Structure 1
């Protein structure tokens, strides 16, 4: 057994582990070469990382807005060029960092003839607006006024607005795009190790929204996969003990079942214990297993 385990460890140690190299970084884009990988591992690794990068990283997004004087998203706002639907579409593009585990409110209060951008939003210290130049609306009159409350929440993936039911009148739900990763692509090529040419090489490309760097996104996604595989690596089969059978596994005739326990040759102690637990018939005793009987108060092993 020990020799077999040693052989398995030797085979595992012979698997070549890959190196990772950042080949290009530009703004929120980065490209990585991951090599060498055992034949077939390229697709396995690339697809796993891509899925986690796009679906499982946490982020922040606006989940609802309330505009002063507006009851629903199909309403026009006086002296504002965009209708509410256009403003909602613009708000969806807000990219945020939130350092709070709870919903947080931001305020927008502007007036006069002007262009409104994300820089005009008043955010608390727990929220950072990453794209302050984002266009929100255009006020086309000196008498124009726009007041808005925006609720920011953290989450994962994508949550459509229509999943938020029972909103109060005047609260407009917004599609929440939490994921900080915009695109992920990977390709698998052959690479050489010494004279062997059937190893895989993964070229991984990541583009984020600026709330995290591609390096951070890659580390977080790898950490999620590692934590899942650690659960598998630490798996140990747990054998469950079979339930103890009742004292009698055969059908009990009604006549025997209804026999009073007084007719059994019981000690006074055992009789009193059963009686106090409202066990008065032979059938009740036969339907119990040893653990059940030992669970009766003061009914010890000697009584068995």
Structure 2
């Protein structure tokens, strides 16, 4: 059996060494390769990757793109290069902190064919305010999530996943490509057709949050636009009515959220109509919340607008 660690990187010169070391230091009993997809960085990321590739030629395979492919393009090409029966993903600004991470996850998957991937907790470190928290550990979590539960609440971080390499990377659905939410897309694709994942209650990686990530650098408006396009495409793709209903819920959530943003920007009538029309994301206290929105003005609740995952 073979295992692939897939590292996706672009302009990560401050972080990539930790990421590569986390992959190299894994205690693993199987045939093991480390695939690095380097997307024409403009800093010293490639030079650092090349140094490690030269030091570990039997383990590391470094791919530098001829031109910048962007987030989804580099993801897809890197996954295509993985020859393992199982794949573990880590983006270049995150890293694995436990040398037994892969062994633990692989043993669980190999001994139970019920699951298509496993995942665990990750320490989230914000470089701006120096705050730390657990991405998964602070939220209610389905310990054996399926596609329905992930659509309701996605607790799964990319760097925590190990999954079976069963997807056809050359024939991906249209909604998988050209999205900033490609990690979410991968999870949904793995879980369709009644797939299930398994949660491991252990913190084995670190995720860095910083303003230079492709997602974090975007505004809340762009986050909502990306989410709306993503879930609209997925709604068209899926034929299962139960899943369509959940996706519609997500779409309405985003549209209502966008309505609040319009109100924050002074477009009260247009924003309020969106909030009222797409109010299925509110709880029973909708009337109370709506009164707060109307009375708060630009300095109040409008500032507490968040995009969704």
What TM-score, normalized by structure 2, do the two folds share?
A: 0.16
Higher normalized contact order (CA 8 Å, seq sep 6+, divided by chain length): 1
Structure with the largest fraction of helix: 2
